[in-house]
């Protein structure tokens, strides 16, 4: 008898733009707060901020943003969720298999930023009390209903 590999029924991956937007915005807010702290120190000392410090700070911000964009894209572009007949496979640096029978409940989440990028998050609660989040995937509603059918059967 010949072994036939399982057939992928659905595939999903996170939308890298969603992560890039969120983390870049967070990084910008932190950098602005840091600059406000530097500005407050110089203001209290009654001295102007040196031009070299301003230029170095702006250059650092741009460099960090570019680095964050590249890292986010590489990190989340390689993440793939494959949905088979009997299990879910998460492909990252290591492969993880989750049987549908091990899922005790599910929850669908989408906030305003997810609405902007047409993404959503599905949180799987496993029978061993662990939670697995399938974050910021496109067609999250379709995948959520697919998972509901698989878990119920």
Q: The pTM is what?
A: 0.75
- Residue 5, pLDDT above cutoff 70: no
For the segment 58-105, what is each residue's pLDDT rounded down to a tens digit?
898 889 889 888 887 887 778 899 999 888 999 887 888 898 989 999
- Residue 4, pLDDT above cutoff 70: no
3-state helix, strand, coil in the chain (%, to 5): 50, 25, 20
Cα 54 to Cα 38, 39, 57, 131, 153: the distances in Å are 10, 10, 5, 44, 61
Cα–Cα distance for residue pair 77/89, rounded to 1 Å: 16
SS3 state at 117: helix
For the segment 117-150, what is each residue's pLDDT rounded down to a tens digit?
999 999 999 988 899 999 889 989 999 999 999 8
Task: Give residue 46's region: left, alpha or beta (phi > 0; psi -120 to 50).
Answer: left
Lowest mean pLDDT among 27-36, 53-62, 73-82: 73-82
Cβ(136)–Cβ(114) below 8 Å: yes
Cβ(32)–Cβ(89) below 8 Å: no
Q: Which residue has the tokens 């990252």?
A: 92
Cα 144 to Cα 36, 114, 116, 121, 141: the distances in Å are 43, 15, 19, 9, 5
Cβ(151)–Cβ(145) below 8 Å: no
- The pair of three-digit structure tokens given for residue 134, joined into one six-digit string: 């399938």
């Amino acid at each position: 008898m010949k072994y036939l590999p399982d057939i992928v029924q659905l595939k999903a991956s996170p939308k890298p733009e969603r992560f890039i937007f969120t983390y870049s915005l967070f990084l910008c807010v932190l950098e602005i707060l840091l600059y406000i702290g530097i500005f407050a120190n110089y203001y209290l000392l009654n001295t102007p901020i040196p031009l070299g410090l301003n230029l170095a700070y702006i250059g650092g911000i741009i460099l960090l943003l570019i680095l964050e964009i590249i890292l986010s894209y590489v990190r989340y572009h390689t993440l793939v969720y494959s949905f088979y007949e009997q299990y879910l496979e998460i492909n990252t640096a290591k492969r993880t298999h989750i049987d549908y029978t091990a899922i005790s409940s599910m929850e669908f989440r989408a906030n305003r930023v997810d609405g902007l990028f047409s993404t959503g998050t599905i949180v799987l609660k496993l029978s061993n009390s662990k939670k697995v989040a399938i974050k910021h995937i496109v067609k999250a509603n379709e995948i959520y209903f697919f998972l509901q059918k698989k878990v119920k059967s």
